[in-house]
Amino acid sequence: MTGSEIVLEVKDLTVSFPTEDGLVRAVRGVSYDLRQGEVLGIVGESGSGKSVTSKAVMGLLPGSAKVGGSVRFRGQELIGAPEKELQAVRGGRIAMVFQDPMTSLNPVYPVGDQIAEAVLAHNDVSVAAARDRAVELLTMMQIPRARERARDYPHEFSGGMRQRVVIATAMANDPDVIIADEPTTALDVTVQAQVLEALETARSATNAAMVLITHDLGVVAGTADRVLVMYAGRPVELGDVDDIYYEARMPYTLGLIGSLPRLDTARRGDRLVPITGSPPSLLDLPPGCPFAPRCPLRREQCDELEPDVLATSSPDHLAACHFSAELAGRRPEDVFVATSADPETAGGRS
Ligand code: ADP
Ligand code: MG
């Protein structure tokens, strides 16, 4: 993967929204590179700035949003680019898959026609050939009796099938990047796996890179090559998927892992160790580490200075924690359970 070309380069991205109550600092300095063919998982609790980050990449934020930093798609700067340029990028180069497939589908056209339209927009083929290709794509997306079902309208499909239609359309656009924002969140667990599989089929068939955004670290476990963990509008950890799951260097990441039911055999039978409390308001962030109020390792320094995102023992594994070195070799239950068993701090973790 490391030899492949960088298709998307996000640097120091910031987004804030002026509101009646003050400035909401939704994204506070996100940076990542995305290479051709790779899958980057972006994980964090609701409200951590994941969707705003990807909307900024796509130029889909409301006009009131104040955006800073840089987003380069194959070298082309997208922040501040004219709407016409952004439309061209959105039209095919970067495809989005949202949580609700109905935001992408037109309710008054049969699903096959919608996919065929995308095929026609990107290929010099006849309408009949585009329809055939649409059926082929639906078949690849595991839609049974695809030729027949292509004539159905979106409302005649289940949620999981609709999402697979959206993914088929993305595939027809032959994108360089697929950004999937909580693509499985509205679906049953069994259907989630099918949709993740469909995404992987689309990604590998187009050799696109993918950003997979989810609040559920379990969703990216089997899918992502690298994971970016976000908290309060910032990246707090970035690394290869194995670094994140087995060598986490930020207590928040460890907490997310501890909240996962039976991620792997090592944790089988272990109790869940959920993170208590909730993320801070992005209106008036106090100084210091935004995770400190929920962190079992909190010390004075944590309330004074927000930690930078720095390399850990490996240059490709970054973490934002003053005490990240202390986390080497520690598992979620060492940090979260051990602390709650301590009478001095147990009161704060009811
Ligand atoms: P996530 O996708 O991680 O759940 P979001 O990126 O949607 O979180 O939101 C990050 C923060 O930005 C939240 O606090 C949200 O309320 C705020 N936010 C998002 N859109 C707007 C907006 N248009 N105006 C004001 N605040 C917004
Ligand atoms: Mg979101």
> What pLDDT, in 10s, does the model give residues 89-135?
987 899 999 999 999 999 999 999 999 999 998 889 999 999 999 99
Under 8 Å between Cβ of 6 and 32 = no
C-alpha angle 179/90/122, rounded to 5°? Answer: 105
d(CA 338, CA 350): 14
Which DSSP string corresponds to 71-120? EEETTEE-TT--HHHHHHIIIIIEEEE-SSGGGTS-TTS-HHHHHHHHHH
Identify which ligand lies nearest to the alpha carbon of 180: 2
pLDDT tens digits along 232-286: 999 999 999 999 999 999 999 999 998 887 555 454 455 677 788 999 999 989 9
Under 8 Å between Cβ of 13 and 53 = yes
**Residue closest by Cα to atom 12 of ligand 1:** 26
Segment 193-209 mean pLDDT: 95
Q: Please give the distance, rounded to the nearest whole angstrom, from the Cα atom of residue 47 to the centre of ligand 2.
A: 7
Segment 65-70 mean pLDDT: 98
Identify which ligand lies nearest to the alpha carbon of 282: 1
Between strands 226-231 and 234-240, the pairing is: antiparallel
Give the list of residues 6+ apart from residue 281 with CB closer than 8 angstroms, or none: none
d(CA 227, CA 42): 6
Q: Which atom of ligand 1 sits closest to the CA of residue 53? A: 6
Of 194, 124, 102, residue with least CA distance to 114? 102
Instruction: Write down the number of H helices and E strands in the chain.
Output: 14, 12
d(CA 54, CA 60): 9
Position 343 pLDDT exceeds 50: no
- Please, which pLDDT band fits residue 22 given cuts at 50, 70 and 90? very high
Segment 311-334 mean pLDDT: 93
pLDDT tens digits along 202-240: 999 999 999 999 999 989 988 999 999 999 999 999 999
- What percent of the chain is modeled with pLDDT above 70? 92
Cβ–ligand 1 distance for 27 under 6 Å, the answer no
Identify which ligand lies nearest to the alpha carbon of 66: 1
d(CA 143, CA 150): 9
Position 339 pLDDT exceeds 50: no
Q: Which atom of ligand 1 sits closest to the CA of residue 62? A: 23
Tell me the whole-structure pTM to 2 decimals: 0.92
- Please, which pLDDT band fits residue 190 given cuts at 50, 70 and 90? confident
Cβ–ligand 1 distance for 47 under 6 Å, the answer yes
Of 316, 296, 292, 178, residue with least CA distance to 242? 316
Position 344 pLDDT exceeds 60: no
Ligand 1 pocket: which of 19, 27, 52 to mutate (most atoms within 8 A of CB)? 52
Give the list of residues 6+ apart from residue 55 with CB closer than 8 angstroms, or none: 61
Ligand 1 pocket: which of 24, 179, 236 to mutate (most atoms within 8 A of CB)? 24
Which amino acid belongs to residue 195?
V
- Please, which pLDDT band fits residue 345 given cuts at 50, 70 and 90? very low
Of 336, 260, 247, residue with least CA distance to 291? 336
Between strands 209-214 and 22-35, the pairing is: unpaired
Cβ–ligand 1 distance for 55 under 6 Å, the answer no
Position 152 pLDDT exceeds 90: yes
Ligand 1 pocket: which of 16, 17, 45, 60 to mutate (most atoms within 8 A of CB)? 17
Write down the pLDDT at residue 2: 52
Write down the pLDDT at residue 271: 64
Position 350 pLDDT exceeds 50: no
Cβ–ligand 1 distance for 46 under 6 Å, the answer yes
Q: Please give the distance, rounded to the nearest whole angstrom, from the Cα atom of residue 14 to the centre of ligand 2.
A: 16
Show me where the domains of the chain are located.
6-224, 248-340
Position 347 pLDDT exceeds 80: no
Write down the pLDDT at residue 309: 96
Position 176 pLDDT exceeds 70: yes
Write down the pLDDT at residue 270: 57
d(CA 239, CA 255): 16
- Please, which pLDDT band fits residue 335 given cuts at 50, 70 and 90? confident
Q: CATH number for 6-224: choose from 3.40.50.300, 3.40.1440.10, 3.30.70.1350, 3.40.30.10.
A: 3.40.50.300
Write down the pLDDT at residue 342: 43
- Could you tell me the two tokens for 44? 């964090």
Segment 149-166 mean pLDDT: 97
**Residue closest by Cα to atom 5 of ligand 1:** 49
Which DSSP string corresponds to 20-63? TTEEEEEEEEEEEEEETT-EEEEE--TTSSHHHHHHHHHT-S-T
Position 338 pLDDT exceeds 60: no
Under 8 Å between Cβ of 336 and 255 = yes
The residues placing their C-beta within 5 Å of ligand 2, an ion, are 50-51
